[in-house]
Every structure is written in C-alpha cells, then in structure tokens.
C-alpha cells in the first residue's frame, strides 16, 4: 500500500487532516490543469476548490486501483465541462491577465518576465479554448502534466490508442491556432 | 499514422534532452509538419511549473478544512447509515402477499428480468455514445461467453463495430467513431490471440477482407481532419488479414476465378451466390471490337434506376466490362452508377478493354455494383474474391475483346446470398450478342444471375435475365438512359424474387 493509499484510506474513514495532506500534494497539479482551460484565474481557483470539496464528498466511491490524482483530474474535467456549458468561453480580460500567478514569476523580481509568463498562459488558454474539451484535456495532461496515454485514457475513459490519435489531431489544431495568431513563429 | 510515430519519436527525443533544431534535423522530410506541432507542445510543456499562488493555497486549505469538518465524507456517512431492507418492493404489495418474502422476491425478479429484456432489445440498435450502448456490449459479452466459436464471434462483433462507425459517420458523430473503432481494434486484438490455436475458415478471411475494404471506404468518407481516425484500425485489420491468410485450410473459392488470358474471347461466369447480375449487351461494333456501348449499338436492354431485379444495362460511358462492386452493409443492393453497366463484354472506342475489379458486398443478399469505366486496350483483370453469408463476389475477367463475337456465360451461383461473379476469360464480341441470365441458387437472398453464353453485340442484342430466388434482397441498379443506334435489341427481364425487391427493367432503344 502506497503512502497515498494510506492517506486516502484515512480520509475515507473521516480523517480531515489526512485529506488536508492530500490537498497539499495535489492542489498545484489540479490548479494548473484547470487554469489552462478557463479564461480567468478566479475561475481556476473556484473550480480547484470545488474539485477538492467534491472529492471529499465522493471519497467513498474512490477505488484505489488508480492514482488518486487521476481521480481528481477526472472530477476537474467534469467541472470544467460543466462550466463551459453554463457560460461559453469568452476571451480573458487584461485584468485577468494581471491576476495570473505562477511560481517562476513569483520568484522573479522582474515584472516584465512575470508579464511574459502570464501572456504565454493567456495565449495558450485562448488557443486551447478553440479545441474540444477532450482535446484540451489530452494536450494538457500529456504535455503539461507529462502523463502517458494509458493514464490519460483512464481519466478520459478512452483507450490509449484513441488518446494518441486525439493528441495528434488536437496538437495539429493547436499549432494552427497558435500559428494563426503569430505565436508559434514569433 | 507515420506523422504520429514521428512526432512521438521527436517528443521522446525532446524529453531526453535534445534541442528542437537537432530533433528536426533528424526528420528532414517531416520537418514542416513536425515543427509547429513540437513548438506547440513545447509551449504547453513550458508551463509545467505553473502553480497556484501561495495565498490561494493557504486560504483554500483553511476554508476546505472548515467545510469538510462540517461535512463527513461520503464513506463515513455510508458507514453510519442503517442497512436498508433487502426487498424494497415488499411493502408495495398487498399485506397478505407482502408477508411472504418469496412472493416479493419473485415479483421483483420478474420485473427486473422483463425490464432487462426490454432494455437489451432496445439497446441492440444503440451506437457508441448512446445511453443504452453499454447494455448492448454487455449482451454481446454474454453471447460471447456462450459461443463455442470465439473466432466467429470476434469477426461478427468486429463487423458490428464497423457498422456502428459507418452509422456514426453518417450522423457526423466523429468523437463516437473513435469509440467504435477502439472497440473494433479490441476485437481484432482478441482475434489475434486466438489464431495460434484456431483454424481459420475461408469465410473468415473474406469477411476480414470486406472489413478492410469498408474501412478504406469509411476513411474516404470522413472529412479530412477525421481521416486519421481510421488509420490505426485499417492497419490493424490489414495485419490481421495477413496473419490469417496463411492459416486458412484452403483458399476461398472465389479466388479460383479464371485468370486473364490474351485470347480474344471472354467468358463471364458468375459463380456462387449471386445477389445480382447485370447483363448488359449493347450492340456496338468497332471493327475488331465487340462493343456494347450505346453510342454504337442499336437497341439494348437498359435498367432503370433503383431496380430490384436483374436487367441488362449498357451505359454510354463504358464499353468494356468494368464491374466494380463496392461493399455496403446490410445487404448488398446493387446500384449501378450512370457510368456503369453490368458485365459488359465490350470495349468502347475510348476504352479499349475492360478492367474488372470487384469488391464484395455483404449482408443477406444483393450486391452493390459500381463499375468504373477504364479504358485500355489491354485490360487487366483484378479478381478480388470475397465470400460470406451474403456478399457478392464479383471477379470479372481481365481480358479484352477484340474478336467479332462476345460470349458471356455466367453459371448459376450457389452461395449464401450474395453474388459471386467470376467471368471467365472468354469474350467474343460478334455482331450478335445475347445475354441470358438464369436464376442462381443463392441461399440468403439477392439474385443469381446466370447469363447464357451468348452475347451478341451487333445489330441485335437480346438480354434475358431471370430472377434469382434469394431471400435477402433483390438488386438495385441505376443505369443511365442510353442512346442507341443499332438496329434492334431485346431485353426480357423477369422479376426477381429476392426479399429486397424484384427487378425493374427499362428498355430503351
């Protein structure tokens, strides 16, 4: 039994401190996954918090066959799709851009570098927003989270082969989108 | 497929520490495709260190802890919940019955079984992405477990997955096509595992060949961005086919069709299980060519569009025999395109010789017949034998007709319902062409069409198709009206008795 499984088992018995540790271990990954999929930082934070709240509520249905984080990604994916259904994507405002935070930027005293990092995320988010939810998911999980197709397939309920095809198609679309906005070659 | 592989290789190189330029240098031919994709992937990879702000982490943690302490986890709640009664229906019954727990249990069981049966039946037409589709898969799984022939089951279910993909294609549900094809690939993978211990009947090979053809067709029908969906399946199906072919005890019967010869005679000999036959005799003579095209011939039998039965057809576009059957599911319905005729022992002035190439229809009977005109003076025959329960094997012959007599001699087929058309290499184009199809003995449906050995292309043409007695489907044919200049032709089709429709015949002169 892995330390993660022990923590989850404790949380399933109602140990809130164990769940707090699970939160600490996964919050950045879930936030990052969400952040690239929604236009503003506030939305990303709201969804991230909601993912953990739902995870707590549904903890009894988790079966430790697969990594707990994959289960969280799956909850996040459903939440993102719900949000997109309720409010169609709109381009992020400059204010939202100013809200972006990431650790390299946090650690950098250079405001320009911080702004560039924020701009990059903004461009990526807008380009990703043109793709289907599954396509967005497969690209972020594959290239930002470095996951293999098997794990991505578990999260998206697809075969590894289907995820591979999906990745290829989505990446072509994303490249076209970024090229169209002059981002790739800039 | 190649691009996917190249990209995956390139990405692995990047993860191993190679820089973009050195990676691209390894793929000079794919550089233009790979560069924007790698650049996009790198952009995503660059934000892998993105984290939430420290403040967000802290405040959310506190808030979350406060909330979850007030809300026990589901697992904890479930443990604290009192156990429910076994038979919730018990108290819905009248008291005397309710007291007997057996009655309650049996009623619950009956309701459950009838509900399951209705759901299962309704699920049979479900497609991937539909609510009832998992029910369909479950019922198939049960069939699979009960079957004594797992290979046949895999072939059957792979065919179903393919049919679902085709149905989804018509609905434009491309995401769901992925699911269908992923399941299709699973069937093939399981099939491969059986191969070392299972004998592969020729029928299995021809059904796999059909699947390859259908995948190719599906690939063509998908819009460009979706075409890569089929590539994996197509490759896998081809691989399986290559693996099973050596395992067959004997070659499929349709592969024994006559080989092309260089004689000026051509015989067209439909073999087993014909779903349809298209005798076409259009008198047209061009010196040494026996031609059945309407431009030059006199009257000739012409089938009207959507006809169920056999009818002789000569098209203005084609001269030579160019039967090209395309597979279609659910029962072959021969549909002649405007450019096509049936087996035409002819050669137009533009198209010196016939290039027959036939791919099978499938299903209970009938056939799809879509000949494409190809004109060369030395036609090559490409017999592509297919067999199965109800497809059509059309193996036209390869050779040109240059002599003054054309003879088409189909023999009655005895297949399961499709049509095997195996013209033999004898074609004699003479001033007189007579096509006299006789009924075949197809079991599953469609028509068996057995033209008699005489094809007379000159001043008089007589085509007398006789219907087959298949159960599954008749024949549909859509020939174009044809100009004729020859002196006279007689077409005497007899209505077919296939389930799908009888023949319609329209003669134009």
pLDDT per residue of chain B (509 residues) written in tens, 0 to 9: 566 688 888 998 999 999 888 999 998 888 888 899 999 999 899 888 888 899 999 999 999 999 888 776 555 555 555 444 444 444 455 555 555 667 778 888 888 888 878 877 888 888 888 888 888 888 888 888 888 888 888 888 888 898 998 888 888 787 788 888 888 888 888 887 777 777 778 888 888 888 888 888 888 787 766 666 787 788 888 888 888 777 766 544 444 444 343 333 333 333 333 333 333 333 333 333 333 333 333 344 333 333 333 433 333 333 334 443 333 333 333 333 333 333 433 333 333 333 433 333 333 333 444 344 343 333 343 333 333 333 344 444 344 333 334 333 343 333 333 344 444 444 333 334 333 343 333 333 333 343 444 433 333 434 334 333 333 333 333 343 343 333 333 333 333 333 333 333 433 33
Residue at B119 is within a domain: yes
Residue at B267 is within a domain: yes
Is residue A159 predicted with pLDDT exceeding 70?
Answer: yes
Tell me, what's the pLDDT at B59?
93
Tell me, what's the pLDDT at B404?
39
Strand partners, B455: B406
Tell me, what's the pLDDT at B109?
86
Asked if A120 is an interface residue toward chain B (Cβ–Cβ < 8 A), one would say yes
Q: Are residues B154 and B220 in the same domain?
A: yes
Of the residues B213, B228, B247, which one is the last residue of a structural domain?
A: B247
A124 vs B43, B57, B181: nearest CB: B43
Enter the ipTM. Answer: 0.84
**Inter-chain residue contact B77 with A120, CB threshold 8 Å:** no
Chosen CATH of A1-91 out of 1.10.3720.10, 3.30.360.10, 3.30.420.40, 1.10.1740.10 = 1.10.1740.10
Asked if B85 is an interface residue toward chain A (Cβ–Cβ < 8 A), one would say no
Residues of B in contact with A171 (CB under 8 A): 7, 37, 40-41
Q: Are residues B211 and B324 in the same domain?
A: no
Q: Are residues B340 and B318 in the same domain?
A: yes
Structural domain harbouring B448 = 252-509
Considering only alpha carbons, which residue of chain B is nearest residue A45?
B56
Is residue A165 predicted with pLDDT exceeding 50?
Answer: yes
B130: CB partners within 8 A, 6+ apart? none
- Compute the CA torsion angle B225, B226, B231, B237 (nearest 10 deg): -160
Best of B6, B38, B52, B173 to substitute, by most chain A Cβ atoms within 10 angstroms, is: B52
Residue at B492 is within a domain: yes
CA A166 to chain B, closest CA, distance in angstroms equals: 9
Is residue A26 predicted with pLDDT exceeding 90?
Answer: yes
Cα B288 to chain centroid distance, Å, stands at 39
Q: Are residues B226 and B297 in the same domain?
A: no
Tell me, what's the pLDDT at B342?
38
Q: Are residues B342 and B407 in the same domain?
A: yes
CA B359 to chain A, closest CA, distance in angstroms equals: 29
CA B183 to chain A, closest CA, distance in angstroms equals: 9
**Inter-chain residue contact A16 with B56, CB threshold 8 Å:** no
Tell me, what's the pLDDT at B280?
37
Tell me, what's the pLDDT at A116?
56
Tell me, what's the pLDDT at A56?
92
Instruction: Look up residue B196 and give its two tokens.
Output: 């070392």
Asked if B286 is an interface residue toward chain A (Cβ–Cβ < 8 A), one would say no
SS (H, E, C) B350-403: CCCECCCECCCCCCCCCCCCCCCCCCECCCCCECCCCCCCCCEEECCCCCCCCC
Residue at B9 is within a domain: no
Asked if B37 is an interface residue toward chain A (Cβ–Cβ < 8 A), one would say yes
Determine phi and psi for B84, rounding to 5 degrees: -85, 160
Q: Are residues B269 and B329 in the same domain?
A: yes
Number of folded domains that form chain B: 2
Residue at B40 is within a domain: no
**Inter-chain residue contact A124 with B53, CB threshold 8 Å:** no
Is residue A101 predicted with pLDDT exceeding 60?
Answer: no
Q: Are residues B177 and B300 in the same domain?
A: no
Is residue A40 predicted with pLDDT exceeding 50?
Answer: yes
Tell me, what's the pLDDT at B288?
38
Asked if A61 is an interface residue toward chain B (Cβ–Cβ < 8 A), one would say yes
Q: DSSP letter string over B225-249?
A: GGTHHHHHHHHHHHHHHHHHGGG-S
Instruction: Look up residue B443 and give its two tokens.
Output: 């079991």
Size of interface A-B (CB pairs under 8 A): 171
Q: Are residues B164 and B192 in the same domain?
A: yes
Asked if A56 is an interface residue toward chain B (Cβ–Cβ < 8 A), one would say yes
Residue at B460 is within a domain: yes
Asked if A132 is an interface residue toward chain B (Cβ–Cβ < 8 A), one would say yes
Tell me, what's the pLDDT at A160?
93
Q: Are residues B216 and B273 in the same domain?
A: no
Cα B114 to chain centroid distance, Å, stands at 35
Q: Are residues B226 and B322 in the same domain?
A: no
- What is chain A's mean pLDDT, rounded? 83
Asked if B67 is an interface residue toward chain A (Cβ–Cβ < 8 A), one would say yes
Nearest CA among A173, A83, A177 for reference residue A123: A177
8 A C-beta contact, residue B506 and residue B311: yes
**Inter-chain residue contact B4 with A164, CB threshold 8 Å:** yes
Residue at B240 is within a domain: yes
Determine phi and psi for B452, rounding to 5 degrees: -85, 165
Is residue A172 predicted with pLDDT exceeding 70?
Answer: yes
Considering only alpha carbons, which residue of chain A is nearest residue B50?
A102
Overall average pLDDT of the A46-54 stretch: 94
Asked if A99 is an interface residue toward chain B (Cβ–Cβ < 8 A), one would say no
Residues of A in contact with B168 (CB under 8 A): none
Asked if A43 is an interface residue toward chain B (Cβ–Cβ < 8 A), one would say no
Q: DSSP letter string over B439-463?
A: E---SSSS--EE--S-BEEEEEEEE
Of the residues B212, B247, B282, which one is the last residue of a structural domain?
A: B247
Determine phi and psi for B66, rounding to 5 degrees: -60, -40
- Pairing, β B456-463 against β B488-491: parallel
Class of domain A100-186: mainly alpha
Is residue A170 predicted with pLDDT exceeding 90?
Answer: yes
Q: Are residues B380 and B450 in the same domain?
A: yes
Asked if A158 is an interface residue toward chain B (Cβ–Cβ < 8 A), one would say yes
**Inter-chain residue contact A145 with B48, CB threshold 8 Å:** yes
Q: Could you report how far apart the first and last alpha carbons of chain A are, in Å? A: 49
CA B81 to chain A, closest CA, distance in angstroms equals: 13
Residues of A in contact with B34 (CB under 8 A): none
Q: Are residues B308 and B213 in the same domain?
A: no
In terms of Cβ atoms closer than 10 Å to its own Cβ (0-12, 13-18, 19+), residue B186 is middle
Domain residue limits, chain A? 1-91, 100-186
A178 vs B40, B71, B231: nearest CB: B40
Tell me, what's the pLDDT at A89?
53
Residue at B261 is within a domain: yes
């Amino acid at each position: 039994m892995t330390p993660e499984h022990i923590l989850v088992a404790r949380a399933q018995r109602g140990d809130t401190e164990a769940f707090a540790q699970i939160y600490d271990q996964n919050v950045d990954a879930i936030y990052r996954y969400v952040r690239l999929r929604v236009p503003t930082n506030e939305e990303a934070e709201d969804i991230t918090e909601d993912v953990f709240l739902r995870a707590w509520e549904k903890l009894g249905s988790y079966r430790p066959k697969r990594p707990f984080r994959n289960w969280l990604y799956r909850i996040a994916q459903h939440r993102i799709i719900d949000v997109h259904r309720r409010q169609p994507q709109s381009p992020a405002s400059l204010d939202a851009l100013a809200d972006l935070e990431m650790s390299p930027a946090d650690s950098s005293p250079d405001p320009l570098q911080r702004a560039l990092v924020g701009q990059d995320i903004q461009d990526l988010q807008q380009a990703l927003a043109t793709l289907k939810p599954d396509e967005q998911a497969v690209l972020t999980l594959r290239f930002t989270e470095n996951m293999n197709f098997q794990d991505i397939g578990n999260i998206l309920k697809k075969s590894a082969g289907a995820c591979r095809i999906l990745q290829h198609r989505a990446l072509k679309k994303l490249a076209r989108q970024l090229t169209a906005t002059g981002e790739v070659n800039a | 497929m190649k691009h996917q592989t190249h990209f995956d290789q390139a990405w692995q190189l990047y993860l191993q520490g190679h820089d973009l330029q050195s990676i691209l240098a390894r793929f000079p031919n794919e550089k233009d495709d790979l560069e924007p994709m790698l650049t996009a992937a790198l952009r995503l990879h660059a934000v892998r260190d993105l984290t939430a702000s420290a403040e967000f982490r802290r405040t959310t943690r506190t808030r979350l802890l406060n909330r979850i302490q007030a809300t026990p986890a589901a697992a904890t709640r479930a443990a604290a919940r009192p156990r429910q009664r076994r038979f919730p229906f018990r108290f819905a019954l009248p008291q005397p019955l309710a007291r007997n727990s057996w009655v309650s249990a049996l009623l619950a069981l009956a309701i459950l079984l009838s509900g399951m049966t209705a759901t299962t039946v309704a699920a049979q037409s479900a497609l991937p992405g539909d609510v009832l589709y998992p029910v369909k898969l479950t019922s198939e799984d049960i069939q699979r477990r009960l079957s004594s022939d797992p290979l046949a089951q895999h072939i059957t279910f792979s065919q179903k997955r393919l049919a679902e993909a085709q149905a989804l294609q018509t609905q434009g549900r491309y995401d769901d096509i992925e699911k269908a094809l992923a399941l299709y690939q699973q069937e093939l993978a399981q099939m491969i595992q059986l191969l070392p211990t299972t004998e592969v009947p020729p029928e299995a090979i021809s059904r796999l060949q059909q699947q390859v053809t259908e995948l190719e067709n599906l690939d063509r029908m998908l819009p460009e961005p979706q075409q890569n969906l089929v590539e994996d399946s197509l490759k896998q199906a081809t691989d399986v086919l290559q693996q099973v072919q050596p395992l067959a005890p004997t070659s499929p019967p349709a592969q024994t069709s006559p080989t092309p010869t260089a004689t000026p005679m051509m015989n067209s000999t439909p073999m087993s299980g014909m779903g349809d036959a298209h005798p076409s005799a259009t008198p047209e003579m061009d010196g040494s060519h026996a031609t059945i095209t309407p431009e030059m011939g006199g009257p000739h039998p012409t089938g009207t569009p959507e006809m169920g039965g056999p009818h002789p057809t000569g098209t203005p576009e084609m001269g030579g025999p160019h039967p090209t059957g395309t597979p279609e599911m659910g029962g072959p319905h021969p549909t002649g395109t405007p450019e096509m005729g049936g087996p035409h022992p002819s050669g137009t002035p533009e198209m010196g010789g016939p290039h027959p190439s036939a791919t099978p229809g499938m299903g209970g009977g009938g056939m799809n017949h879509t000949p494409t005109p190809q004109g060369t003076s030395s036609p090559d025959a490409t017999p592509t034998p297919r067999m199965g329960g109800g497809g059509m094997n059309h193996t036209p012959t390869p050779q040109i007709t240059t002599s003054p007599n054309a003879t088409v001699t189909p023999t009655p087929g005895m297949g399961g319902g499709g049509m095997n058309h195996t013209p033999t290499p004898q074609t004699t184009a003479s001033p007189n062409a007579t096509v006299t199809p006789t009924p075949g003995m197809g079991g599953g449906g469609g028509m068996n069409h057995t033209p008699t050995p005489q094809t007379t292309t000159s001043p008089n043409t007589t085509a007398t198709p006789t219907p087959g007695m298949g159960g599954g489907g008749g024949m549909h044919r859509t020939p174009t009206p044809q100009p004729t200049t020859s002196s006279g032709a007689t077409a005497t089709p007899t209505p077919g008795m296939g389930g799908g429709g009888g023949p319609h015949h329209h003669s134009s002169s």
